[in-house]
Amino acid sequence: MPLDKQALESLRLDADSDPQRYRDAPGGRRRLWIAIAVVAVFAAAIAWRMLNAPIAVQTVLVEAPEGADGGAVLNASGYVVARRLATVSSKVTGRITDVLFEEGAVVSEGQVLAKLDPSTGQAEHAVAASSLEAARRNLREIEVRLADARKTLARNRSLVERKLVAESVLDGSQAEVAALEARLSAAGAEVGVAQSRLALSQQGLDDLVIRAPFAGVVLSKDAQPGETVSPVSAGGGFTRTGIATIADMDSREIEVDVNEAYINRVHDEQRVGAVLDAYPDWTIAGRVISIVPTADRQKATVRVRIAFEALDPRILPDMGIKVRFLEEDSGGETGHPQVPASAVLRDGDANSVWVVRDGQVERRAITLGPADGDRVAVLQGLQGGEAIVVDAPRRLRDGATVELQADGS
């Protein structure tokens, strides 16, 4: 069937039409800029999150040169501890109505953990609120009466000046004003006392809600709904003194007891290699925080605190751990530290490695020595026991926060 020429003509696109007119349509340019701004903000948020998220890396400890016990000057055993640990209890004695957590739960500071029966506290609060309202009504009533008495006093003073009333009437008005002013002062004090009582009753209600004192992980759940909790022990087995134990997992460290005969081999900032009993093939880098300045007379030991260079979710409080205190510098005649070749970053004649310390990485220049298979000696720049990154991700940068994985040894 032949096509209508006029119909075909109506379907033809105008080659001279200006596409700019669509962008110049009313509101079109504004909507375009808004869309661009939204996309830019969204992209910036994603980029910021990616740049600041911990980067998963695999680490190994720098091998100390061969020497006494492989570079170790002392071996000891101890436990992982959470330095910040709290048994959470209530400020008042009461019956538990709700427990809002379970063991292993991650809680934030101020999060509600449990609630106590509020019936008595609510009744006391209602009485205090009523007392405050009554005191305020009494104060307003006295203020009104005092205003009227002052008007009467002014009127009587005028009448006395014109000899229309006796002086005794003026004296009576002055006495009434003085009495009402005294009552007004007392009523104001009563309002203040009632406000304090109401604030105390409100604080009592707030104390019936038990909150987490800091962010951490619940290690134990020690109470159930229906039990009575108290800030002090009441004797017997029917009153709880705590509802939970919370640990700040960022405060994990190692505590070991070193025989006092060997404590001279330990010093602050000394590097250590630690191995958890649960993960015998995983060596964790650490360093001495402090030597507790007291000895245990019965055990003849001195306690040493050790920090992890970086924390890992597998490191749990109360885990058993073995520690090797390492020599600070085992170079010279005893050789040089060795590292995996996969940890070395080569840029022409310059060589460097990523060193992990306190959960962050820094790029450190090193001088390489001879290679031995897949390992290479480091003449300068590293010490035995330092943690370095192997097979580093390309997006790693100075100061980046990292999340450790177990080494491949």
What's the CA dihedral at 388, 389, 391, 397 to 10 degrees?
-130
Q: What is the pLDDT along the chain (409 residues), one digit of tens a residue?
A: 454 555 445 545 454 445 455 455 555 667 777 778 777 777 766 665 565 677 888 888 886 665 434 567 899 999 999 999 999 999 898 999 999 999 999 999 999 999 999 998 889 999 999 999 999 999 999 999 999 989 988 888 888 888 887 888 888 888 999 999 999 999 999 999 999 999 999 998 999 999 999 999 999 999 999 998 988 765 555 678 889 999 999 999 999 999 999 999 999 999 898 999 999 888 888 899 999 999 999 999 999 999 998 888 889 999 999 999 987 654 434 457 788 888 899 888 889 998 988 888 889 898 888 877 788 888 888 877 788 888 888 888 888 888 876 544 4
For residues 221 and 244, the answer to whether their CB atoms sit within 8 Å is yes
Q: What is the pTM of this model?
A: 0.59
Say yes or no: 350 and 224 in one domain. Answer: no
Residues making up the chain, counted from first to last: 409
Say yes or no: 275 and 395 in one domain. Answer: no
Which of 4, 53, 32 shows the shortest CA–CA distance to 397? Answer: 53
Last residue of a domain, one of 228, 247, 266: 247
CA 275 distance to own-chain centroid: 28
Say yes or no: 91 and 127 in one domain. Answer: no
For residues 222 and 210, the answer to whether their CB atoms sit within 8 Å is no
Say yes or no: 281 and 302 in one domain. Answer: yes
Q: Which two tokens stand for residue 73?
A: 């000057």
Say yes or no: 306 and 339 in one domain. Answer: no
Structural domain of 148: 119-206
Per-residue pLDDT at 334 = 42
Q: How far apart are CA 76 and CA 270, in angstroms?
A: 14
User: Is 344 domain-assigned?
Assistant: yes
Q: How far apart are CA 364 and CA 359, in angstroms?
A: 16
Structurally, how many domains does the chain consist of? Answer: 4
CB neighbours of residue 353 within 10 Å: 24
Say yes or no: 182 and 218 in one domain. Answer: no
Say yes or no: 321 and 360 in one domain. Answer: no
Per-residue pLDDT at 69 = 46
Last residue of a domain, one of 279, 310, 326: 326
Q: How far apart are CA 75 and CA 302, in angstroms?
A: 14
Query: Long-range contacts of range 149-154, CB-CB < 8 Å, 24 or more positions apart?
Result: 149/173, 149/176, 149/177, 149/180, 150/177, 152/176, 153/177
Q: How far apart are CA 339 and CA 382, in angstroms?
A: 9
Q: Which two tokens stand for residue 134?
A: 């009554």
Q: How far apart are CA 301 and CA 263, in angstroms?
A: 8
User: Is 224 domain-assigned?
Assistant: yes
Which residue type, as a one-letter code, is found at position 262? Y
